[in-house]
Amino acid sequence: MPTSSAHDSAALALAAARPGSSDTRMGDAWAYMLIAGGGFFLWWICTQHPTALPSWAPWEFSPSWYAAASLAAYWYCRGLARTSIELRPTRWHQLAYFAGIVLLYIVLQTRFDYLAQHMFFLNRVQHIIMHHIGPALIALAWPGAVLRRGMPASLRRLAESNPIARITRWVQQPLLAAVLFVGLIALWLYPPVHFRAMIDARLYAVMNWSMVVDGILFWCLILDPRPTRVARVSIATRAVLAAGVMYPQIAIGLSITFIHHDLYPFYALCGRAFSSFPPPLDQALGGIIVWVAGSMMSVLAFVYVLYLHGTGRSSCSNELCVAAARNQRNLPGGALDPIEDTYGWM
């Protein structure tokens, strides 16, 4: 826990990093122009020269995914620059955050997206990364405080507004969070819905966005590193949730793996990327990914929650921890409370 002197020095350091200088505004303007220019270039090359695209280029350029990944990376870097050294996340936290962003970008905005649209088992790999691995890495980084520093003031006020807070609290109710997490997996794997989502570009986008957003909300609830008195739910509840969502995924994966008729004819109708790949094997591998990969993520999350409990980070006797989380207060000069930052903000 930071001492009062550390608290004051951190406040001064952060206050000194407030945006507002002409150099800062100019740097932001250049950064946003570069992001916009990069997006325009990718859109242009994807529409005008699709046959010349390398494997890392988007199969179908999505301005929303490009903007989300680019701004998430930029705001995090900007937030890091405005964070004093003693409050800055560790290298491992930073690595986890960028790994999560990069993985999401790879499965959604590179040639992998094409493969995921033409092989069922690769579609399941894509969804495991969108709903499990990528969001879990972002949650492990616990980037909220850093992102909040890096956001434009207007967007930060929106993120901190009461309506957004109420919606987040409602969606992250333990039972509802578990039902949404498993329910979305089941919904998008229900054969008629899956077929429609794969042929309708708008529904395909809804499917992908719902998986990523729900994954981030769920794993932030489970992997919350803050003490129990500050976190949304207790260690025991998080452990039960991590284990509880495993069994429906096992059931779904087993049913797909051992059903011998073709549940997902879309891939045969549109052609598989690997034509020599037997359709039953494609479907069985997809079911195994749902079954095994989904279960392993639950096991790892369960172990991590037990680790938090074992290291004593699940308890906090200092009332300032509770006050910081309850009030979400700011220090003079727009700096974040170091206590709040120590235990994260999401």
pLDDT above 70: percentage of residues in the chain: 83
Residues in the chain: 346
Above pLDDT 90, what percent of the chain?
63
What token pair was written down for 240?
């039960």
Residue 4's identity, in one-letter code, is: S
Retrieve residue 309's tokens.
């409990």
First vs last C-alpha separation in the chain: 19
DSSP 43-99: HHHHHH-GGG--TTS-SS--HHHHHHHHHHHHHHHHHHHTS-GGGSPPHHHHHHHHH
* pTM of the full structure: 0.84
pLDDT tens-digit series, residues 245-272: 999 999 999 999 999 899 999 999 999 9
pLDDT of amino acid 248: 97
Rounded CA-CA distance 305/299 in Å is 10
When the pLDDT of each residue in the chain is averaged and rounded to a whole number, the result is: 85
Cβ proximity of 172 and 232 under 8 Å: yes
User: pLDDT at position 338, please?
Assistant: 36
Check residue 129 and give left, alpha or beta (phi > 0: left; psi -120 to 50: alpha): alpha
Which has more confidence, 344 or 70?
A: 70
CA distance 34 to 12: 31
